[in-house]
Amino acid sequence: MIKPHGADQLNPRFVYDTEQHHALIREGEELPSLLLNSAAAANAVMLGAGYFTPLDGYMNLADALSVAEKLHTVDGLFWPVPIVNLTDEAGIEPGSRIALRDPNVEGNPVLAIMDVEAVESVSEEQVDFMAEKVFRTLDPEHPGVATFKGLGRTLLSGPIQVLNFSYFQSDFPDTFRTAVEIRNEIAERGWDKVVAFQTRNPMHRAHEELCRMAMDDLGTDGILIHMLLGKLKPGDIPAEVRDASIRKMVEVYFPKNTVMITGYGFDMLYAGPREAVLHAVFRQNCGCSHLIVGRDHAGVGDYYGGFDAQTIFDEEVPEGALELEIYRADHTAYSKKLDRVVMMRDAPDHAKEDFVLLSGTKVREMLGNGIAPPPEFSRPEVAKILMDYYQSL
């Protein structure tokens, strides 16, 4: 199986030893505590789950700036996005040990214990510099920019020990999986080549066929459908609805034992190309050999070109930085001429009217009115789940 990124084995920061775990829980109740923001909490979950191997914890300012500018830490580790704990909380001292409390769970339980190595002030200019590099814009309407710029101006860095996986394990017990668990399941299934499909949306017919195309073209043993379970922008479909619709699609339309349906505990960044590279890093840590990168992967609005998330792998990812390879996908749609889903680049003789194309707005309008999109666009079983959701709003 493919090696983890930057290490021979995964580095999950979750404390698995039962005795040590209980001792840390007791200690956490006595330590000074910091209520995290959701972004820092999501970073802790990803560190705990091994997705951010080989990192031990939150980056310091020098590493965060270096990653934003050059896609590597000061020591040269390839990494595409700063993994930080930014706060406005005062009074935390370098060298202290603190309990990190979860903002997303009632009662704010201790999520992790942190050894604070450095406490650094971040200037407005440095925040803007990082945001501009990562998101390619400073537009406050960009949801990722708005979140990042609102996190705080004090950066705490240092290793963490993670004690739970926030709400993800309890709310999505059948879907949330750590990188450790995914690796283990891939090994148990005897899979060697595995392609990952990233999603924050329900999967329509085109997504379903794209997964099949990737599996066939690459000759993989299976596919990991890996859905984001964390915070999204307003208007995005909730994770539990998306989960149900994806499970129904796989149950009815995929051969048994070819698909793993899993999810990960992270908030969407909407960082386009940089987030695509981050997706590649942590899918390598899951044990996947390939990642499907499609049109406007991890994008939002019109901030990124349609294929910027693919070209970044050619222009900014150094050769050998990742063992995982990407599968480059074009926009996929149902061809009326050929009576099947195709990549649009593979049908140069088609005009726009030869495809079944529906805007997201139109699809939401149809579902809200109890009208199923055409079966060439959405499987009827999936459409039923989505119609029930939209009509309940």
What digits encode the pLDDT tens for the residues 11-65?
999 999 999 999 999 999 999 999 999 999 999 999 999 999 999 999 999 999 9
Q: How do 222-228 and 194-199 pair as beta strands? A: parallel
Place of tokens 């708005």: 146
Domain-ending residue, one of 144, 169, 194? 169
The yes-or-no answer on residue 200 being catalytic is: yes
User: Looking at the structure, do residues 143 and 195 belong to the same domain, yes or no?
Assistant: no
User: Looking at the structure, do residues 137 and 49 belong to the same domain, yes or no?
Assistant: yes
What values do phi and psi take at 70, rounded to 5?
-120, 0
| Active-site choice (200, 212, 328, 364) | 200
| Active-site choice (108, 201, 328, 364) | 201
Beta carbons within 8 Å of 311's beta carbon, 6+ residues apart: 273
User: Looking at the structure, do residues 165 and 258 belong to the same domain, yes or no?
Assistant: no
What values do phi and psi take at 84, rounded to 5?
-130, 160
The yes-or-no answer on residue 201 being catalytic is: yes
User: Of 233, 324, 235, 243, whose CA–CA distance to 271 is shortest?
Assistant: 233
User: Looking at the structure, do residues 346 and 200 belong to the same domain, yes or no?
Assistant: yes
Residues 337-359 have pLDDT tens digits of 999 999 999 999 999 999 998 87
For the segment 289-316, the average pLDDT, to the nearest whole number, is 95
- 2 inside domain: no
pLDDT band at 237 (very low <50, low <70, confident <90, very high): confident
* Tokens at 305, concatenated: 């070109």
Domain encompassing residue 156:
18-169
Place of tokens 């984001």: 228
